[in-house]
Structure 1
């Protein structure tokens, strides 16, 4: 097997080649997969469920839980041991958190596809499944070629312009928190880009300058996106262990050793950041407890500091064993959206997001999802990402608002987070 020294370059090249149709690329620690040319798909909107297989589309209304609807739709396809890949929009949460009044029937909730071709790269080399011999030869050639190409040139983006009135929206949320309406909310702002973006090239350059927990690159259903996820929303492994990794509390990173160490010390001593993190862990623990075998939920690495590109965060890990009467999709629905991207309590926090964020979030603070043939599932939080449709390209970032928040500091935090992607945007 060939040895690949730069998997990100290989994945970017496969995506840019544009000869394998729609795709989802997903990086886990030590392993990369490029899944392409869908045999079928499951698309869920607020108004309907569409399943596609072998070119035939079935459309029907759905009721109840979106997680149950997607799980059942996947189970109804002749997957024959294949995996599924795709994304959930933030609005997927509206059903479990009583916010459906904010949706219209066309609001996209989920899009998963079942690939014909999978290309995996890990320490053992390259493995290709589902491709014809000719395609496999092309794939090997593209990967080999990718290892000798220079990094693309960036077209940096100004992230300090803010037509969204972010500080005023933060002030309004602080007033609601101080009035006792809820404890925390994550409010975000969108930065529209004035040009079309080369998303695979942006992924490659961004990945060379980020330290994500997971990363992704996709083109699916008219949406292109690439991102450097700081945390897991949920994973359920083959041993039915459920894991989530709440990150809350942020300072800049990458400004030099002395500045980074000072920011780290400030982060670990800041009462606002500590409170924000502790209540996020408390919420995640309660959510895992609701779907786990009693006595199995536990917190580890409490309040560790993890560097994620241009920022550093307080981080913890929460795990439990999934109860026998619960599915991986039940666990995902309980943990989604990430507490660190919504609010506390979640129901009131999500209501505040829908009211105060104004623009629908879509993939921002949703999840990229991988579902294995064995039923294992992983959903990574979509932050530190770039998005593009036929209508344009944009970035988006948010900050956790609590009663002690200052609008100017929260705006600065969005700039720090946008710094994980904005300097590495490549113009089409």
Structure 2
């Protein structure tokens, strides 16, 4: 499995799973980073350029400047990227600090799909040797308590419900972090967690000082080289995996609960509106409305929203239009982002995206939820819930616990 390569000593790497295909991108041929003022390229080309206007356009220009034929990039986009987007930056607030995007153009790229292995770039003999070696045991997980800090979260939910009923906004996602009291073996955690989850996308990465492993329940956006655009909002949640009868009862309650249906419907409506900004208006359509997707320890209401890019629009425009995901921010987005800034902790990568992008204009962005994060030996989990007028603090706290249970049972202590 590609995780053998993650153990092989590459300084930076990204493992990305999509539609049954696994990609490992390791070693930096080039790195592209973006903050509030500059986009920087290091590696085969060194540049430091001040940007303004569209951050997506700045990234696309930097990538297109690379002297790399048929480049593909892999990386992360932090939630704070939203503060750079026209119309979403908070009035009177300083620009988001620090690095918000880091993309890796790999020296070594391995794709495994349908039993076939495709190698690209450097170290191909080394890669074949690593893939041919016996697998390493994933280790045993260590219990992580996900029910800490309940009182604080209930208070924040109650405040959001009050503001919603006052008409300040319709919906907001509030989250809470759970500190893991030991350094985590991220590769082993990913291997165990992937066996226990059914994600839309999964990822494992070490980029700079940040590590993350996750089992994304939904995409922010997918754009094909021909300009087909898809997003899949998931909103409305109940527990899953507690037995056939209990799961069926939870599904029936999910599909008939007014609060969950409202939360989902307004999210789908917002996704349609956002796609119309970058797509041919009449091409925007909804498919599989309010189906149910099972994602590890939870099940969600899910819908597909599709469109076709309008002339002159790019995949980066589509990412900007849909970022941050409505299911991880709220409605309307500017007002919900203001509430998140007041009521949530700084998010970092949580509810941002892990992305792949290519020279042909294609792009795939997985929403970063159901993940474990680690930096400087400190590891944590994080989960949120969608708050609307009919929300109750106890139920929303329980929803975060249900989501955290998609990851917490699989966390492996380093060296254990």
TMscore range, shorter length: over 0.9
Name the counterpart of 1:139.
Answer: 127
5+ long unaligned stretches in structure 1: 1-9
Query: What are the superposed Cα offsets for residues 97-130 of structure 1, whole Å, 9 maximum, x if unpaired?
Result: 1227545563321111110110110104111111
Query: What are the superposed Cα offsets for residues 33-65 of structure 1, whole Å, 9 maximum, x if unpaired?
Result: 0001111111112243221123x6433432222
5+ long unaligned stretches in structure 2: none
- What is the SS of the residue equivalent to 2:187? helix
Selected match of 1:22 from 4, 9, 12: 12
Selected match of 1:31 from 21, 27, 31: 21
- Residue 385 of structure 1 and its aligned partner are, at CA, apart by 0.3
Name the counterpart of 1:367.
Answer: 353
- Residue 212 of structure 1 and its aligned partner are, at CA, apart by 0.2
- What is the SS of the residue equivalent to 1:363? coil
56-65 or 284-293, larger mean C-alpha shift = 56-65
Q: Distance in 1 between matches of 2:411 and 2:339?
A: 31
Name the counterpart of 2:297.
Answer: 310
Q: Distance in 1 between matches of 2:208 and 2:136?
A: 29
**Contact preservation (8 Å) 2:175, 2:382:** yes
In structure 2, the CA distance between the partners of 1:410 and 1:163, relative to structure 1 (3 Å rule), is closer
Q: Distance in 2 between matches of 1:205 and 1:385?
A: 13
Query: What are the superposed Cα offsets for residues 237-281 of structure 1, whole Å, 9 maximum, x if unpaired?
Result: 022011000000000001111111111011001000000000000
Residue 66 (structure 1) aligned with residue 55 (structure 2): yes
Name the counterpart of 2:379.
Answer: 393
Q: Distance in 2 between matches of 1:404 and 1:106?
A: 35
Name the counterpart of 2:337.
Answer: 350
Count the aligned residue pairs.
Answer: 412
- Residue 163 of structure 1 and its aligned partner are, at CA, apart by 7.2
RMSD: 1.5
Name the counterpart of 1:6.
Answer: none
Selected match of 1:376 from 350, 362, 374: 362
User: What's the TM-score once normalised by structure 1's chain length?
Assistant: 0.93
In structure 2, the CA distance between the partners of 1:86 and 1:392, relative to structure 1 (3 Å rule), is same
**Contact preservation (8 Å) 2:64, 2:359:** no
- What is the SS of the residue equivalent to 1:71? helix
Moved over 4 A (4+): 100-105
Q: Distance in 2 between matches of 1:107 and 1:360?
A: 12
Q: Distance in 2 between matches of 1:405 and 1:105?
A: 30
Name the counterpart of 1:52.
Answer: 42
- What is the SS of the residue equivalent to 1:17? coil
Residue 113 (structure 1) aligned with residue 104 (structure 2): yes
- Residue 217 of structure 1 and its aligned partner are, at CA, apart by 0.5
